[in-house]
Structure 1
Amino acid sequence: MGDLAWDDVSCFFDPDLMGRLPDVRVPDTSVEDWQAVLDLIEVRGWKAEYSEGTTVLPLPAAAAVLSRPGDAECPNLRVWPTADVLAIFRFGGADEIDFDVDLWEVRGQERLDVFCGFLGEIGRRLGKPVLVEPEGCYGHPVLGFDVGADRVVLMSDPPSWGNG
């Protein structure tokens, strides 16, 4: 079994509770941290697609993406740690790495293990927490990678009415 048991956390993967695309973020980052994540994607061989607007392009260096003018097309990086789970990274700034995961893709223990493994790989590479928050609820993580525990942990009690 992975870091978390599906039966214990399924309520946190309910789109009605969390929003369909909860916010996943690594706070207090730098351009070097972004580059470390881009390097991790390549090293792990995860399928990835970088785009600016609707144009798909080769993956640039983090410094190039993060130094783009504010009025440029919005860059996105789509990463598939497995064929069934997609993370969409947004390059909003160097100080925070943020991405979305579609909760409809994280159903059941197997996909939860993939998701937790993905968070763990990023957190270990950066030596930083990776926080999962309900969509639009910045600063209220419900679960995430804990550096000290070296695993994904619950950071909030499940709601008493959420039974997934």
Structure 2
Amino acid sequence: MPDLLWDDVKVLFDPEFNGALPDVVVEGTTVEDWQVLLDLVRAQGWQYAYSVGGEPMEFSSAADMAAAAYGAGAPELRVTPELRVWPIPEVLMIFRMYQTESIDFDVDLRELQGQERLDVLVDVLCVIGRRLGKSVLMSAEGSPGRPDLGFDVEADRVVKMVDPGV
């Protein structure tokens, strides 16, 4: 049985209600956690594209991503490394290294309609959360700190964190 049933959470996936691009975050991370994520993308066989400051580049190490994100000590040289990941061809997740202390990514709710697509999201959140040993939380667009759902480390599954009927 799935962790979440579509009928129980579909209001959270309504772009009109939640914004089209909810915020997904893993907090309390390090460069090493970012490297675990990069290795995980490769190990899962997910399709990906990597860019720095909008320029396509070869897939890099987390240390190289951090150097770009932090501008090698010069703020004017800062750019945002971006890793576009497709766990399936119809679902895109965009990971951006704004800082090493959190792994931030977006998903497009318009691509996550129905039980099958919800299951894809749940699987990705579980794989990331289990590999990192950290919670992976999804909040409505622009509402960080108020997660709607996420991978709960202690429960070892994705759970609702709000009452979708509210």
Pick the TM interval, shorter chain.
over 0.9
Q: Are residues 1:89 and 2:89 paired?
A: no
2: CA distance, partners of 1:154 / 1:114 = 16
Q: CA deviation at 1:2?
A: 1.8
* Deviations 1:135-162, CA, capped at 9 Å, x for gaps: 11110001000011111000111134xx
Structure 1 segments unaligned to the other structure (5+ residues): none
2: CA distance, partners of 1:136 / 1:154 = 18
What residue is the counterpart of 2:29 in the other structure?
29
The residue correspondences of 1:34-53 to structure 2 (distance < 5 A) are: 34-53=34-53
What residue is the counterpart of 2:112 in the other structure?
106
1: CA distance, partners of 2:32 / 2:81 = 18
Q: AA paired with 2:114?
A: G
Q: CA deviation at 1:88?
A: 0.2
Q: Secondary structure at the match of 2:145?
A: coil
What residue is the counterpart of 1:10 in the other structure?
10
Q: AA paired with 1:63?
A: A
Task: Select the residue among 146, 151, 157 that pairs with 2:157.
Answer: 151
Q: AA paired with 1:15?
A: P
Which structure features the higher share of helix residues?
2
The alignment's TM-score, normalised by the length of structure 2, stands at 0.93
Q: CA deviation at 1:64?
A: 1.0
Q: More displaced, 34-43 or 151-160? A: 151-160
Task: Select the residue among 121, 124, 132 that pairs with 2:130.
Answer: 124
* Deviations 1:18-43, CA, capped at 9 Å, x for gaps: 11100000011111100000000000
* Structure 1 residue runs of 4 or more that deviate by more than 2 Å after TM superposition: 70-74
Identity %: 53
Q: AA paired with 1:149?
A: A
Q: Secondary structure at the match of 1:16?
A: helix
2: CA distance, partners of 1:2 / 1:84 = 20
* Number of positions where the alignment pairs a residue of Structure 1 with one of Structure 2: 160
* Deviations 1:56-106, CA, capped at 9 Å, x for gaps: 111110011112204344221100011111100010111000000000000
Q: CA deviation at 1:52?
A: 1.6
